[in-house]
Amino acid sequence: MNGAELLVGELVRHGVRYIFGVPGDTSIAWYDAMRTQPLVKHVLATDERNAGFMADAFARITNEPGVCEGPSGAGFTYMLPGICEANDNSIPLIALNTDIETFFRGRARLTELDQVSIAAPMTRWSASLDDVRQIPFSVRKAFRIALGPRPGAVHLALPSNVMDSAADGVTASVVRGAPFRLPTTRQRPSDEELEAAARAIEGSRKPVLVVGGGIHLSRGYDALREFAEHIAAPVATSISGKGAIAETHDLALGVVGENGGSEVASKAVAEADLVIFVGTHTGSVVTQKWTVPTQGKGQAIVQIDSNAEEVGRNYCLEVGLVGDARATLDALRARLPKRREMGERERQLRREVTEWRKQESDMQGDGSPSCHPMSIVGLLRDVAPEDALYVADAGTPCPYLAAYLESRTGRHVLIPRGHGGLGWAIPAVVGAHYGLEHIGEAGRKIVAVMGDGSMRMSMNELVTLVDNKINAVIVLMQNDEYGWCKTGEKAGGRSEHLGLDFPPRDYSAIAKAMGMAGESVSDTKSLGKALRKAMKEDGPSFVSVATTPMWKGQPPIIGWRKKLQAGRQSPAAGSCS
């Protein structure tokens, strides 16, 4: 047994069954070890960046660390976007990079880089395994850190001579206990802290919950719903927190914040006398650059997070609670009398949410011969299976799915919000597919939505969907531009643009050349027919939709809408042609 075989064995003992990656010159021993390990499936990506995105999506579905791998040099640098996105979303990920031989360091060996120093700022831990005896201990440590109270990415560099080294005398790990998935522990705040928070909540008249992605890591859905019902508090979410509560629930306000948030949710948070943050970074988007809620306007704030570094980061708190979301919400509910049934305030908010969705639907369309993004989301909602998993890029599709696609409870919508990098959705489909397989839900349809800026960045990965016979529908909102950037510029009063427009392309032809079923459409009738056909395909299918640019409509981006309206007459009511 050599170091590579020892490493693969350690990964298997820690529950790893899927590894996403790309080979290289430094990876020969490592690939031999994966090839001869029957319990591990290696999923070949077209580049290392996409392998990282695959591992990220796998982890979101399973709450287990996604594992990606690649070679030294450019392979390592290509993997960094995936590492960074997962880490800043608190998604457990283990990135493995083979490396040059330790004895060639400092001699201008081809592909030499200081991987550890480069990866350190964007991971929870980065290390090089320079001795075969480090492997068992380092794998154990990697899983503890990736799945810790502050989940995130871990990076391990694997020098090729260590992978080739004999490891017959090295003692392997003995793994016992629970599976390696979040939450590994359910930390709870002290009784004194819980009592203080309970007093603040009991003394409030208009509490509101703002919930982030931490609720998914905790799997605290029932605890959140029961707590909200117990204190009759409306629930708004960040984009990452979408699905924390069913968006059809009487207390659900939907997404709040700059991107995809509604004025109803924003108003409810602004007027609350107590805001309870649960598992959210309290970053610029969900708080509209820290103006909703606004510090010092008589609003008390309680924050719950498993990561102590997040508690109180952006707001002075009435009470800060470091603990698992489910355990903390359950402990708080036990200390509070049932407040009352839903009152007129809560019923009024629900009516406003319903009316807002109707008004938004009535405003769609601008008379152009293309489909409005809201129409596309509406058709997807109508024709996709009820249990479909939606994966979207952070550009044009993001605010529309956030605002108008009503999610059931759970992770049913995946959107990268750590850095919002484009090109995430197609590789994320691959990771989500194997994540669903891993948890026993392999039959679910995956629906991916992206703009053509994202398509140009990752369309090479369409071949991976074909090669792996992945049951997914790829929907391209094609407006032949970087729509987010152009909308921002037009909202700022600019009429001339550089580098934002593309020559038209027949992307469905590209998809068909990759081996997929593909179709291009430009009206709602044709789109509905194409989507119904695509949903019946056993393998991957592709639908390109001529889409109204964001700046021609009224995108659900607080701050842009009024600026866009000021620069033109309001768009005509109606649907796309």
Question: pLDDT digits over 124-159, tens only?
Answer: 999 999 999 999 999 999 999 999 999 999 999 999
Residue 295: predicted pLDDT: 84
In the block, which residue shows the tokens 């790309």?
A: 22
Question: pLDDT digits over 396-406, tens only?
Answer: 999 999 999 99
* 324 assigned to some structural domain: yes
Could you tell me if 210 and 308 lie in one domain?
A: yes
Could you tell me if 230 and 278 lie in one domain?
A: yes
The pTM is what? Answer: 0.95
* 359 assigned to some structural domain: no
* 15 assigned to some structural domain: yes
Could you tell me if 209 and 315 lie in one domain?
A: yes
Both tokens of residue 332? 């708080």
Residue 572 DSSP class: P
* 356 assigned to some structural domain: no
Could you tell me if 315 and 378 lie in one domain?
A: no
Residue 26 DSSP class: G
Question: pLDDT digits over 107-123, tens only?
Answer: 999 999 999 999 999 99
Question: pLDDT digits over 226-235, tens only?
Answer: 999 999 999 9
- Angle at alpha carbon of residue 532, lines to 528 and 537, rounded to 5°: 145
Could you tell me if 114 and 204 lie in one domain?
A: no
Question: pLDDT digits over 532-576, tens only?
Answer: 999 999 999 999 999 999 988 888 998 888 788 776 543 333 333
Could you tell me if 322 and 394 lie in one domain?
A: no
What is the rounded CA–CA span in Å between residue 437 and residue 472?
13
Could you tell me if 205 and 132 lie in one domain?
A: no
Could you tell me if 522 and 395 lie in one domain?
A: yes
Mean pLDDT, residues 246-267 taken together: 95
* 26 assigned to some structural domain: yes
Task: Please state the domain count of the chain.
Answer: 3
Any alpha helices (H) in 203-291, and if so which ranges?
Answer: 214-218, 221-231, 263-271
Could you tell me if 447 and 521 lie in one domain?
A: yes
Q: Choose one of 315, 349, 383: the last residue of a domain.
A: 349
Residue 360: predicted pLDDT: 80
Q: 350 falls in which pLDDT band (50, 70, 90)?
A: confident
Could you tell me if 412 and 537 lie in one domain?
A: yes
Could you tell me if 338 and 402 lie in one domain?
A: no
Question: pLDDT digits over 417-432, tens only?
Answer: 988 889 999 999 999 9
Rg (C-alpha) for the chain, rounded Å, is 24
* 210 assigned to some structural domain: yes
Asked if residue 355 has pLDDT above 80, the reply is yes
* 504 assigned to some structural domain: yes
Q: What is the CATH number of the domain that holds 250?
A: 3.40.50.1220
Could you tell me if 24 and 83 lie in one domain?
A: yes
CA 3 to chain centroid, in Å, comes to: 34
Task: Please state the φ and ψ torsions of residue 21, each to the nearest 5 degrees.
Answer: 180, -170
* 177 assigned to some structural domain: no
Using CA atoms, how far residue 326 sits from 226, 257, 278, 445, in Å, is: 11, 24, 10, 29
Residue 79: predicted pLDDT: 97
Asked if residue 471 has pLDDT above 90, the reply is yes
Helices (H) and strands (E) in the chain, counts: 22, 18
Asked if residue 359 has pLDDT above 60, the reply is yes
Question: pLDDT digits over 497-543, tens only?
Answer: 999 999 999 999 999 999 999 999 999 899 999 999 999 999 999 99
What is the span of the domain harbouring residue 198?
A: 191-349
Q: Choose one of 326, 349, 372: the last residue of a domain.
A: 349
Q: What is the CATH number of the domain that holds 394?
A: 3.40.50.970
**Mean confidence (pLDDT) of the chain:** 93
